[in-house]
Amino acid sequence: MNQTYDAIVIGAGVMGASIAFHLAERGLQTAILERKVTASGATGHSSGLVRMHYDLAAESELTYKSYQVYFSNWKERVGGDCGFQQTGFLQIARREHEDKLRGNVANQQKIGINTSVISADEVKKLFPDLITEHFDYAAYEPDSGYADATLTTNSFIEAAKRNGTTLIQNCEVTSIHAAGGKVTGVSTNKGDFEAPLIINAAGAWAKQVASLAGIEVPLETWTHDVAFLYRPPLLGRIPACIDDVINCYYRPEGSALILAAGEDESLRGEPPDAEDQTPTPTFLEKLIDQMVQRIPKIEESGLHSIHVGRDGITPDQRAIYSGTDLNGFYLACGLSGTGFKTSPAAGASLAELILDGKPKTVDITPFRFERFAEGKLLEGEYGYGHIWK
Ligand SMILES: Cc1cc2nc3c(=O)[nH]c(=O)nc-3n(C[C@H](O)[C@H](O)[C@H](O)COP(=O)(O)OP(=O)(O)OC[C@H]3O[C@@H](n4cnc5c(N)ncnc54)[C@H](O)[C@@H]3O)c2cc1C
């Protein structure tokens, strides 16, 4: 197979799918090359939280646009389904972080996000099954919730295909070609492909893929366990929640299950292809110990299943959406365990950066690749510290 395209996207996770969708809308003949099948990487294991609370305004803007233009309006904007469920979202803050919580919420309100600081008593009124003794305040986003990352990816790809995109699965990029400082194409196990634009959206493998183009990206991997628990029969309404006091996040999973994960048992630096189906031995016990502090009815729950996912993570735990010194070679990687919810607007903005020289949907220039070489890592104005310890 030797084919010529306007653009090649490496990786059919949600990021590659979103970029292909937006490039195809602009009329580019695009090929998505995927070494396995769609959503087989981080995306297929994503917890799918859609919340706008970040300590970095640029990330809040990306989710806000992703929610406003895409998740809440999926059928009209993209077609198909993304499985968005509006459950409300709570960011429970430690007492010593009250000022930071208020600062972040004020910044998010300036963006237009529907969020406010509410007291522990107000949390109790909204969600009576939550124990509210170990915190004073939380941020509450009534519009937020979760979506289905695999469905999101597949409907982006179906829409891109309607606009002429070609998806080639079981197709691993093994080398990247360049001439005169510009990319020209790739070699794969299914032959050679030519294109003047190549976008590296290879998730946990993006470091290896960038090295095929002679580019060193400071990426390691982050491996994260997620449990699905049976919903206790008498449990009332719960929101999607990041709970900084017990270091867990959780949300409903349909009507029968609860998804829950801890934030401090994840592994760093596993090889991207390492066996990824085995949770860390202490994961479940620790998770349940933490969860019952907030939702005692979890005692009446049972384990449905556990899965393990792996993403690429950067030194500042923020994504890279950027061109490089190699003309036509772009990076959309290092999504650092939080890149599902931002992928629609990030893909739109990267397509604008590529085609117009300037992003319009959201200013993604803070996520430029050069920040690492310059030692200018991204930090939130009211940072809580790294999300992943
Ligand atoms: C367990 C877990 C829970 C998460 N929860 C959330 C959440 O609640 N909310 C949120 O916003 N984010 C969350 N994230 C993060 C989010 O899911 C990821 O940031 C996002 O899915 C990454 O998408 P991606 O397309 O960049 O990477 P991936 O989905 O990993 O896709 C990369 C693709 O590239 C392919 N590939 C690799 N090398 C090659 C090659 N050489 N040639 C061809 N193809 C190649 C891979 O096979 C893979 O399919 C979570 C992540 C994990 C792991």
Please tell me the distance from the alpha carbon of residue 290 to that of residue 300, in angstroms, as a whole number.
15
DSSP type of residue 204? G
What distance in angstroms lies between residue 259's CA and the mean position of ligand 1's atoms?
18
Q: Is the pLDDT of residue 275 over 80?
A: no
Q: Is the pLDDT of residue 247 over 60?
A: yes
The confidence score (pLDDT) of residue 47 equals 98
The confidence score (pLDDT) of residue 347 equals 98
What distance in angstroms lies between residue 382's CA and the mean position of ligand 1's atoms?
27
Residue with tokens 């890149």: 339
> Is residue 202 within 6 Å of ligand 1 at its C-beta?
yes
Is residue 373 packed enough to be buried (19+ CB in 10 Å), middle (13-18) or exposed (0-12)? exposed
Q: Is the pLDDT of residue 264 over 90?
A: no
Please tell me the distance from the alpha carbon of residue 39 to that of residue 14, in angstroms, as a whole number.
7
What distance in angstroms lies between residue 32's CA and the mean position of ligand 1's atoms?
15
Taking only the tens place, the pLDDT of each residue in 318-351 is 999 999 999 999 999 999 999 999 999 999 999 9
| Structural tokens at position 16 | 């590659």
Q: Where are the beta strands (DSSP E) in 189-247?
A: 191-194, 198-200, 220-230, 240-243
DSSP type of residue 317? S
The confidence score (pLDDT) of residue 160 equals 98
pTM of the entire predicted model: 0.97
CB 364 within 8 A of CB 350: yes
Choosing from 18, 53, 335 the residue with most ligand 1 atoms within 8 A of its CB, the one to mutate for a pocket test is 335
Atom of ligand 1 nearest to the CA of 310: 53
Run of H or E residues at 64: helix 57-65
What distance in angstroms lies between residue 234's CA and the mean position of ligand 1's atoms?
35
Query: What average pLDDT does this structure show over 371-388?
Result: 88
Residue 263 confidence class, pLDDT cut points 50, 70, 90: confident
Please tell me the distance from the alpha carbon of residue 379 to that of residue 387, in angstroms, as a whole number.
12
Q: Is the pLDDT of residue 389 over 90?
A: no
CB 258 within 8 A of CB 269: no
Alpha helices in the chain (DSSP H): 14-25, 57-65, 74-77, 98-111, 120-126, 149-162, 206-212, 283-294, 343-356, 370-373
Q: pLDDT above 70 covers what percent of the chain?
A: 98
Please give the mean pLDDT across all residues of the chain.
96
Atom of ligand 1 nearest to the CA of 225: 1
Please tell me the distance from the alpha carbon of residue 92 to that of residue 98, in angstroms, as a whole number.
10
DSSP type of residue 327? B
Distance of CA 45 to the CA centre of its chain: 11
Please tell me the distance from the alpha carbon of residue 286 to that of residue 86, in angstroms, as a whole number.
28
Query: What average pLDDT does this structure show over 289-303?
Result: 96
Coil, helix or strand at residue 308: strand
Choosing from 148, 205, 270, 333 the residue with most ligand 1 atoms within 8 A of its CB, the one to mutate for a pocket test is 205
Q: Is the pLDDT of residue 388 over 80?
A: no
What distance in angstroms lies between residue 210's CA and the mean position of ligand 1's atoms?
16
| Structural tokens at position 269 | 């630096």
Query: What average pLDDT does this structure show over 199-221?
Result: 98
Choosing from 32, 46, 200 the residue with most ligand 1 atoms within 8 A of its CB, the one to mutate for a pocket test is 46
What distance in angstroms lies between residue 271's CA and the mean position of ligand 1's atoms?
15
Please tell me the distance from the alpha carbon of residue 61 to that of residue 57, in angstroms, as a whole number.
6
Atom of ligand 1 nearest to the CA of 203: 27
Atom of ligand 1 nearest to the CA of 337: 15
Atom of ligand 1 nearest to the CA of 37: 49
Atom of ligand 1 nearest to the CA of 36: 47
Residue 1 confidence class, pLDDT cut points 50, 70, 90: low
* Nearest CA among 162, 17, 166, 15 for reference residue 79: 162
* Nearest CA among 213, 218, 221, 157 for reference residue 11: 157
Taking only the tens place, the pLDDT of each residue in 123-164 is 999 999 999 999 999 999 999 999 999 999 999 999 999 999
What distance in angstroms lies between residue 78's CA and the mean position of ligand 1's atoms?
20
Residue 286 confidence class, pLDDT cut points 50, 70, 90: very high
**Closest protein CA for atom 18 of ligand 1:** 339
Q: Is the pLDDT of residue 303 over 90?
A: yes
- What is the gyration radius of the CA atoms in the chain, in angstroms? 21
The confidence score (pLDDT) of residue 351 equals 98
> Is residue 47 within 6 Å of ligand 1 at its C-beta?
yes
Alpha-carbon distances of 255 from 22, 50, 85, 291, 328, rounded to whole Å:
33, 18, 11, 19, 46
Atom of ligand 1 nearest to the CA of 224: 1
* Nearest CA among 167, 303, 280 for reference residue 231: 303
